[in-house]
Amino acid sequence: MKRTYHWWLLSLLLLPGMLVPIWLGPYAPLYDYAGHLLEAQVVTYYNDPQYGYADSYDIRPGWYWQSNALSTLLLIGLGYALPMTLAGQLVLSLYVVLFVGGLALLLRSTSNHWPLLLLAPVLAYNFAFTSGWLNFSYGAALALYALVVYLRWQQQNRTYLLLLLGILLVLIYVAHILVWLLSLVTIAALMAPEPWQWRRHGALLLALSGVVPLLAIARPALAVAAAAIAPAIWCSATIIHRLNLAPRALHWVAFGSLLVVAGIVALLNTILEPFYRAILPNIRHYWVYKATFPLRTFTLPHQFMPPNALLIAFNFLVLVLMFALAALAFWSTKNAEDQNRSRWLAAIYLLCIVYLVIPSGTPDILVTEPRVLLFLAFAAIAAARLTSWRTAVGRVYVVCAVSLYMGSIGVTAGYTRTYAAQTASWQAQMKVLLPARKVLVIRQPTNLEYPTPFLSEAFNSFYNGGYFVATYAIEHGGLISNIWNNGPVRPKQRYPIPWYRSGFDVIQYLAETCPSLRESYDAAIIWGKSSRELTQQLDACFGHRVELPNMIIWKKQGPVGRGEASPGNGVIISNSW
């Protein structure tokens, strides 16, 4: 009882500091966040003439069966009763609460000690969350509970735990299909060393396959692949059990398999690249991503420019402290041979193989590496065996964990406060768009605004505010062109939409589609600076431009004299340079 009391007391003490950044401003500093709010706003107020969403968007039938939907459903439900910004803050807060609770339960279930829970802020504010991938983040938080339920089922073999596991996996699928797959990979690794028992493990495989009917409705092709998951797990478990290897020998086999897979993937992406591209043209492997995301996944992004030296220094400190914590955890457990730790090490090996094999991007998921790395962090923290903080190693561990916690909370709050002030300036500048109801958002192929500090891109992610334009449509209604097409809504087909895929030439696109763009949109906007060629093309298409501190806006209106002042300290400039 005392142990439980300490865990939940620490969880309650952690939460206020982790929730503060969400409530410092109406829009949290999450890159895709405004886009999620806009999707929910469109569904909630679709037929409201004040916003005019019905004229701009179509609602996709059955979108909630397609996965990537859980947080959007929560936003829509709360949006009927609350302003969408407040609904968003509540949804983000619920994620943080779920994450901290799930991490505490996982650490308790693996017999770890309380200092490991101090890693919660860094793990919760990971790359996926700060990128605004809300559905994935919700799925990851629920995956912690699914792992805890599985561990308890392993010990107790109760039927109700399998039912609960099946329900959690369905919710995880509704949140994000990749989280569901990674959860299955982790559970498969944990169960592989067990002797196979048809009745016991057959019931488990049935619980793991509960999503197949949903896939049959939404993605029939994937349903066939999903139906093969249970036999694949059975085959793997049978092979591993019949090898009858000692834990240390099994680790060497797993490590050797990891090296073999790495070699095969490297071969496919170098020597056989032309054939690989011909077979799978939409699948991409970026070795730069795979090399740098281990350094970037748990650092804070630069979502406002210019790059901040203090934030770069903090991100470097995060890496130093996390590597120190990992080294200490390994040192404290290097001679441990308990079966539970061996299972989690098996999960780590299998997730490493997944990290190497999984494409960096697909047509549906643009970036995969940080998502797999988060599950690797879950497995690593569960494999750690910090059973006491009273030893010398334990005390150093506590000092590092407390430093990481205090630094993470303080810098995240300061970062969010600065971002809140920046967003107020952005919103004031975007008022220049009024009364436009159809806005074309143009993206630069490269960042022209500020140079990236030497080597800092390896452990820092640099964003601009391009997706923040969605807040204009949230407040004033109408269409913005960079809303996603894989969620609940998509722009009506009559509106030309630029899709920024590999090889897309935005200047050529503007030259070819200028008449239809001018007919469809009232204004165009670029975040940050623009190249000379791109500016000239937009001048020719939309007319005069308004240059503001953080954006350039083009509006279809009559000529205005050179140098006339505009809101936000911008200047209205004629077509000529």
pLDDT (mean) for 11-34: 92
Q: Distance between CA 178 and CA 220 in Å, rounded? A: 17
**Residue-level pLDDT at 314:** 85
Other beta carbons less than 10 A from residue 281's beta carbon:
9
DSSP 302: B
pLDDT value at 454 more than 80: no
The angle at the Cα of 58, spanning 56 to 62, to the nearest 5 degrees, equals 160
Given this model, what pLDDT does residue 15 score?
93
| Angle in degrees, 0-180, between the axes of helices 392-430 and 309-333, rounded to the nearest 10 | 150
pLDDT of residue 282: 67
Q: How far is CA 421 from the centre of its chain?
A: 24
Distance CA 496, CA 381 (A): 47
In this model, does residue 404 exceed pLDDT 80? yes
3-state SS class at 554: strand
Residue 43 to residues 52, 75, 369, 521, Cα–Cα distance (Å): 12, 10, 31, 22
pLDDT for residue 2 is more than 50:
no
Tell me what percent of the chain is helix, strand and coil, each rounded to the nearest 5: 65, 5, 30
Integer Rg of the chain from CA: 25
pLDDT in tens, 422-431: 899 999 999 9
- Residue 313 has a CB neighbour count (10 Å cut-off) of 12
Which pLDDT does position 82 carry in this prediction?
Answer: 96
Nearest-angstrom CA–CA distance, 98 and 143: 10
Tell me the two tokens of residue 541: 């298409």
Burial string for 144-183 (b: 16+ CB within 10 Å, else e) reads bbbbbbbbbbbeeeeeebbebbbebbebbbbbbbbbbbbb
Confidence of residue 562 (pLDDT cuts 50, 70, 90): very low
Mean pLDDT score of the chain, rounded to an integer? 83
- Strands 489-491 and 479-480, how do they pair? unpaired
What's residue 557's pLDDT?
Answer: 62
Q: For residue 576, what pLDDT band results from cuts at 50, 70 and 90?
A: very low
Which residues sit opposite 551 in a β-bridge? 527
How high is the pLDDT of residue 215?
79
126 vs 228 pLDDT, higher one: 126
Query: Please, is 58 exposed, middle or buried when counting C-beta atoms within 10 Å of its C-beta (0-12, 13-18, 19+)?
Result: middle
- Look up tokens 């406002």; give the residue: 304
Give me the count of residues in the chain.
577
Lowest mean pLDDT among 61-65, 302-306, 481-485, 498-502: 302-306
Task: Give 91's pLDDT tier (boundaries 50, 70, 90).
Answer: very high
Element spanning 480, H or E:
strand 479-480
List the single range of 69-73, 79-83, 449-453 with lowest mean pLDDT: 449-453
Residue 277 has pLDDT above 70, yes or no: no
Q: Cα(68)–Cα(138) distance, rounded to whole angstroms?
A: 10
pLDDT > 90: what percent of the chain?
A: 40
Residue type, 60: R
Q: Which residues of 96-126 are buried (b: 16+ CB within 10 A; e: fewer)?
A: bebbbbbbbbbbbbbebbbbbbbbbbbbbbb
Asked if 190 and 215 touch (Cβ cutoff 8 Å), the reply is no
Helices and strands, number each (H, E), in the chain: 23, 9
> Over 60: is that where the pLDDT of 416 sits?
yes
Question: What is the per-residue pLDDT across 500-529, written as a single tens digit (0 to 9) for each?
Answer: 766 678 889 999 999 999 999 999 999 888
Contacts of 288 (CB under 8 A, 6+ apart): none
Domain extent listing, the chain: 2-30+57-121+131-415, 437-573
- What is the structure's pLDDT at 571? 45
Answer yes or no: is pLDDT of 561 > 60. Answer: no
State what percent of residues in the chain have pLDDT above 70. Answer: 79
Confidence check: pLDDT of 132 > 70: yes
CB-count exposure of residue 201 (10 Å: 0-12, 13-18, 19+) = middle
HEC per residue, 234-299? HHHHHHHHHHCCCHHHHHHHHHHHHHHHHHHHHHHCCCCHHHHHHHCCCCECCHHHHHHHHHHCCC
Angle at 155 between CA 212 and CA 351, to 5 degrees: 55
**Per-residue pLDDT averaged across 49-64, rounded?**
92
117 near 7, Cβ under 8 Å?
yes
Question: Which segment of 198-207, 386-395, 398-407 scores lowest on mean pLDDT?
Answer: 386-395
Nearest to 434 by CA among 558, 564, 553: 553
pLDDT tens digits for 169-180? Answer: 999 999 999 999
pLDDT, one tens digit per residue, over 206-256 is 888 888 888 777 777 676 666 666 666 667 666 666 666 666 666 666 667
Q: pLDDT by residue (tens digit) across 473-497?
A: 999 999 999 888 778 999 999 999 8
Distance CA 554, CA 433 (A): 8
What's the mean pLDDT in 448-459?
64
Say how far apart CA 449 and CA 451 lie, in whole Å: 7
Cα–Cα distance measured from residue 247 to residue 263, given in angstroms and rounded to the nearest whole number? 25
Handedness of CA 359, 365, 370, 374 (dihedral sign): negative
- Please tell me the pTM assigned to this model: 0.89
Q: How confident is the model at residue 560 (pLDDT cuts 50, 70, 90)?
A: very low
> Is the model's pLDDT at 574 over the cut of 50?
no
Give me the phi and psi of 564, to 5 degrees please.
-70, 135
pLDDT band at residue 148 under the 50/70/90 scheme: very high
Question: Quick one: average pLDDT of 52-56?
Answer: 93
Structure confidence at residue 558 (pLDDT): 47
Distance between CA 196 and CA 209 in Å, rounded? 18
